[in-house]
């Protein structure tokens, strides 16, 4: 099983505060049956000083520091794959080298949508971004938009045909489950992520997800997520050698 959305890299964003916390999170994920974790620290291009290259350097340094400690301790933990959680903004759409923020050695990008009522132009911007740059998007935590997005805009988002990810904790929220039920059945919600930020703040909840998901979403959804999880792991393993 792959965790497609996490903030496990230390001292990088509002996720893990240090290497010890990162290791503790990875140990929990392993106990919960996770074999691969995509590290997706937040990326928001608010101005030119926050360049993609600067972000990549900081992300890789954080990862290397964590990996060095894992190797030093000889720990058997989930394999870490590097990516980013990219906020969709006009600044980002106009930036160069966007593909550097894809999950390593793929054209797949985890894209976070804005936290306000969407307009049609935003979805057109998303479509153009992906088409013009050959980006295969995964829409991050679709369950978290339920609180402020109309059914009509959800219909328009899913009509684009993009794969989406939900946070494992969504099974605890009846409103979110009800709003997403159509797409849980349609097969467009393909991935599960912990979106973990720490031991105390949004810890991994895959154990709770595994306990509740069959009753909540049914066998077809479980099979769909398992299929996409397996395919993504194979793709990553092949691309990374």
The tens-digit pLDDT sequence of the chain (241 residues) is 999 999 999 999 999 999 999 999 999 999 999 999 999 999 998 755 568 999 999 999 999 999 999 999 999 999 999 999 999 998 899 889 999 999 999 999 999 999 888 888 999 999 999 999 999 999 999 999 988 888 889 899 999 999 999 999 999 998 889 888 888 888 889 999 999 999 998 899 999 998 898 888 888 899 999 999 999 999 888 877 6
pLDDT, position 185: 86
CA 180 to chain centre: 18
Alpha carbons 39 and 5: distance in angstroms, whole number: 7
Q: Which residue range is the domain that position 224 belongs to?
A: 2-240
pLDDT, position 47: 57
Total domain count for the chain? Answer: 1
pLDDT, position 49: 55
pLDDT, position 48: 57
Bridge partners (DSSP) of residue 106 are: none
pTM: 0.95
Contact 116, 149 (CB under 8 A): no
pLDDT, position 63: 98
Contact 31, 85 (CB under 8 A): no
Contact 69, 19 (CB under 8 A): yes
Contact 184, 11 (CB under 8 A): no
Alpha carbons 41 and 43: distance in angstroms, whole number: 6
Give one word for 34, left, alpha or beta, with left for phi > 0 and alpha for psi -120 to 50.
beta
Alpha carbons 44 and 48: distance in angstroms, whole number: 11
Q: Residue 155 sits in a domain of what CATH number?
A: 3.20.20.140
């Amino acid at each position: 099983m792959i965790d497609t959305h996490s903030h496990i890299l230390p001292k990088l964003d509002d996720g893990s505060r240090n290497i010890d916390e990162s290791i503790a999170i990875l140990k929990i994920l392993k106990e919960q049956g996770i074999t691969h974790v995509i590290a997706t620290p937040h990326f928001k291009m608010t101005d030119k000083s926050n360049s993609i290259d600067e972000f990549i350097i900081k992300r890789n340094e954080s990862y290397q520091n964590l990996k060095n400690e894992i190797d030093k301790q000889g720990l058997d933990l989930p394999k870490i794959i590097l990516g980013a959680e990219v906020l969709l903004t006009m600044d980002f759409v106009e930036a160069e080298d966007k593909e550097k923020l894809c999950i390593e050695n793929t054209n797949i990008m985890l894209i976070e949508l804005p936290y306000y009522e969407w307009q049609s132009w935003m979805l057109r911007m998303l479509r153009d971004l992906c088409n013009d740059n050959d980006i295969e998007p995964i829409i991050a935590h679709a369950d978290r938009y339920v609180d402020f997005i109309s059914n009509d805009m959800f219909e328009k988002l899913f009509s684009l045909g993009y794969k989406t990810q939900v946070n494992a904790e969504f099974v605890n929220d009846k409103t979110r489950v009800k709003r997403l039920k159509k797409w849980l059945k349609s097969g467009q919600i393909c991935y599960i992520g912990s979106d973990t930020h720490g031991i105390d703040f949004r810890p991994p909840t895959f154990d709770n997800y595994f306990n509740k998901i069959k009753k909540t979403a049914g066998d077809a959804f479980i099979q769909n997520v398992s299929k996409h999880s397996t395919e993504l792991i194979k793709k990553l393993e092949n691309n990374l050698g």
